[in-house]
Structure 1
Amino acid sequence: MTDVDSSDDLMTPIRPEQLDPGAVIAQSLDNQWVPAQLTKDMIERGRSLDQVARQRVAEVRAEYFRSLINASQVVVNRAYFYNNDAINRDLTEEGEAREAHRRLLASGAIVPFLINERHPGEEPPARLHVRREGFTAWQETLAGLASTDRVRCVRMSWDDPVHDRENRDHTRTLLFQPFAEKVQGLTAKDIDVLAAHVGVGPQEADRFGARLGEVVGFSNSLSVRRQPVVRNTLYEEFVSVPGTNVAEGRYDRDKPFAAEIKQLLDLIYNVNLADALGRYPLTPVGSLRRVVLQEAREARATPGVIEDPEQLQTFLRRQTFATVQDHLTPAAVDALTLRDIGELRQTAAWHAYTRAFGELTASPEAFQDSVGRVFDRYVGLNSEILRLARERRRARPNPWRPVVEVVVTVGAAVFTAVSGNDVWEVTGAVLPLAVTGSLSGSVQLVLRNRIHGRQEQRFAREIASVRLASAREWEEFRDLARRLPGYREEAGAAPTARAATTTQDNEDLPDY
Structure 2
Amino acid sequence: MQEFAADRLVRVDNRQLSRISVVAQCLDNQWVTRDLLEHMVTRRLSYAEVERRRRQDARAEYLRSILNAQQVIVNRAYFFNNPVVYQDFRAPGPQREAFRALLDESVLVPFLLREGSPADEPRFTVDAAGWSAWRTLLGDLDTIRCLRLSWDDAENEQSTQRLMFEEFHRFLLQLRGFNLDALRRDLGLEAESIPTLRQKLREVTLWAADTDRADREGFYRQFLVEPGSDPAQGRFRSAPLVAELKHLVDLRYNTTVPDAVERFALIPTDSLRRTALQERPPVRARKPTEEGGPRAELTRLVELLRTLRPQAFDLALSPLRIDLTGLDLHHVRQARDTDEWRGYLLALESLLDDPTDFVARGQVVYDRYIALARRLAELVGERRQGQMRIWEPVVRVTIEVLGASASLIYDGDPRLEIVGDVATEVAARGAEAVLRFAVVGRDQRRAENELATGIDVMRVRLERAREDWRELVARLQEGGFPLTGGDVGRDSEPNIDRPREET
Which residues of 2 match residues 21-36 of structure 1 at below 5 A? Answer: 21-36=19-34
Residue 199 of structure 1: how far off its partner (Å): 2.2
Residue 466 of structure 1: how far off its partner (Å): 3.6
> TM-score, normalising length from structure 1?
0.73
Deviations 1:459-508, CA, capped at 9 Å, x for gaps: xxx9998436469879969996856743669xxxxxxxxxx99599x9xx
Which residues of 2 match residues 430-469 of structure 1 at below 5 A? Answer: 439=434, 442-444=437-439, 466-467=457-458, 469=460
Cα distance, 1:307–1:445 mapped onto 2, change above 3 Å: farther
Cα distance, 1:399–1:84 mapped onto 2, change above 3 Å: closer
Q: State the alpha-carbon separation in 1 of the partners of residues 110 and 139 from structure 2.
A: 15
Cα distance, 1:37–1:376 mapped onto 2, change above 3 Å: closer
Residue 37 of structure 1: how far off its partner (Å): 1.2
2:144 equivalent among 148, 151, 154: 151
Which residues of 2 match residues 395-474 of structure 1 at below 5 A? Answer: 395=383, 398=386, 401-406=389-394, 439=434, 442-444=437-439, 466-467=457-458, 469=460
Task: Show the counterpart of 2:355.
Answer: 364
Please say if 1:166 is aligned against 2:155. Answer: yes
Do the aligned partners of 2:64 and 2:321 also contact (CA within 8 Å) in 1?
no
Which residues of 2 match residues 133-152 of structure 1 at below 5 A? Answer: 133-145=129-141, 147=142, 150-152=143-145
Cα distance, 1:119–1:337 mapped onto 2, change above 3 Å: same
Do the aligned partners of 2:373 and 2:384 also contact (CA within 8 Å) in 1?
no
Do the aligned partners of 1:241 and 1:252 also contact (CA within 8 Å) in 2?
yes
Do the aligned partners of 2:374 and 2:384 also contact (CA within 8 Å) in 1?
no
Please say if 1:291 is aligned against 2:282. Answer: no
Residue 14 of structure 1: how far off its partner (Å): 0.8
Task: Show the counterpart of 1:182.
Answer: 171
Deviations 1:149-190, CA, capped at 9 Å, x for gaps: x3221111101xxxx222111100111001100111000111
Which residues of 2 match residues 478-493 of structure 1 at below 5 A? Answer: 485-486=488-489
Larger radius of gyration: 2
Gap runs ≥5 in structure 2? 283-297, 306-319, 420-430, 444-452, 463-467
Q: State the alpha-carbon separation in 1 of the partners of residues 247 and 375 from structure 2.
A: 35
Q: State the alpha-carbon separation in 1 of the partners of residues 335 and 159 from structure 2.
A: 37
Identity %: 32
Q: State the alpha-carbon separation in 1 of the partners of residues 181 and 131 from structure 2.
A: 44
Task: Show the counterpart of 1:12.
Answer: 10
User: Which residue identity lines up with residue 259 of structure 1 in the other structure?
Assistant: A
Do the aligned partners of 2:374 and 2:385 also contact (CA within 8 Å) in 1?
no
Cα distance, 1:268–1:372 mapped onto 2, change above 3 Å: closer
1:348 equivalent among 319, 339, 342: 339
Gap runs ≥5 in structure 1? 1-6, 299-304, 313-328, 431-435, 451-461, 490-499, 507-512
Which residues of 2 match residues 56-71 of structure 1 at below 5 A? Answer: 56-71=54-69
Larger relative contact order, structure 1 or 2 (CA cutoff 8 Å, min sep 6): 1
Deviations 1:239-291, CA, capped at 9 Å, x for gaps: 1112221111111114x321111011101101222211111111111211222
Residue 86 of structure 1: how far off its partner (Å): 1.6
The structure with the greater share of residues assigned to helix is 2
User: Which residue identity lines up with residue 259 of structure 2 in the other structure?
Assistant: D
Residue 88 of structure 1: how far off its partner (Å): 1.7
1:277 equivalent among 246, 261, 278: 261
Q: CA RMSD in A?
A: 4.1
> TM-score, normalising length from structure 2?
0.74
SS of the counterpart of 2:254?
Answer: helix
Cα distance, 1:11–1:441 mapped onto 2, change above 3 Å: farther
Task: Show the counterpart of 2:425.
Answer: none
Do the aligned partners of 1:240 and 1:249 also contact (CA within 8 Å) in 2?
yes
Task: Show the counterpart of 1:201.
Answer: 190
Task: Show the counterpart of 1:493.
Answer: none
Q: State the alpha-carbon separation in 1 of the partners of residues 219 and 368 from structure 2.
A: 43
Please say if 1:76 is aligned against 2:74. Answer: yes
Do the aligned partners of 1:251 and 1:258 also contact (CA within 8 Å) in 2?
yes
Task: Show the counterpart of 1:107.
Answer: 105
Please say if 1:266 is aligned against 2:250. Answer: yes
Number of corresponding residues: 425
Q: State the alpha-carbon separation in 1 of the partners of residues 243 and 348 from structure 2.
A: 34
Q: State the alpha-carbon separation in 2 of the partners of residues 137 and 123 from structure 1.
A: 14
Residue range with higher mean Cα deviation, 12-21 or 103-112: 12-21
Q: State the alpha-carbon separation in 2 of the partners of residues 350 and 418 from structure 1.
A: 28
Please say if 1:243 is aligned against 2:228. Answer: yes
Deviations 1:307-328, CA, capped at 9 Å, x for gaps: 559x99xxxxxxxxxxxxxxxx
Q: State the alpha-carbon separation in 2 of the partners of residues 419 and 89 from structure 1.
A: 44
Cα distance, 1:377–1:417 mapped onto 2, change above 3 Å: farther
